[in-house]
Amino acid sequence: MSETGYRVTHIDEIPEPAGEKEAGEPDWHAVRIHFGIQSFGVNAYTATQEGEIVGEHDEVEHSGTKHEELYYVSKGSATFTVDGETIEAPAGTFVYVPDPASIRSAVAHEAGTTILCLGGTPGEAFAVSPWEQKYDPASAS
């Protein structure tokens, strides 16, 4: 933390956590880990090419949480699919998925598309998801 009580970082300066990455996978910006945020979940993804940017998942079986999620397309455009319905999401679009059991995914229409993802379980203190714990040494107990 700076002496001023805040930190500023450009998204391109947030390194991806170490690990295997397959060709064509989006860049993962581990925003929560980078800043040490403990009160809410937040990550961002930038497409390296047209294609999947948010993998198909729910927030019950796949993540081990019951998060509601808010996605924000900050650059480019994407098509979200939530429970079989498609949503066109150009830059500036929010997509809110309140039901943790809803199946959701997103496909980027172009390289550089960037999506910010925020999540948490209503009525509960934030806990790091089992999926993210393996990348965050600070969350290991």
Q: Report how far Cα 6 is from the mean position of its chain's Cα atoms.
A: 22
Token pair, residue 25, equals 């996978």
The fold of 24-121 is Jelly Rolls (2.60.120)
In this structure, are strands 104-108 and 51-57 parallel, antiparallel, or unpaired?
antiparallel
pLDDT truncated to tens, each residue of the chain (141 aa)? 557 889 999 999 998 887 777 888 899 999 999 999 989 999 999 999 999 999 999 999 877 789 999 999 999 999 999 999 999 999 999 999 999 999 999 999 999 999 999 999 999 888 777 777 767 766 654
CB atoms within 10 A of CB 33: 21
**pTM, entire model:** 0.87
Residue ranges of the domains in the chain?
Answer: 24-121
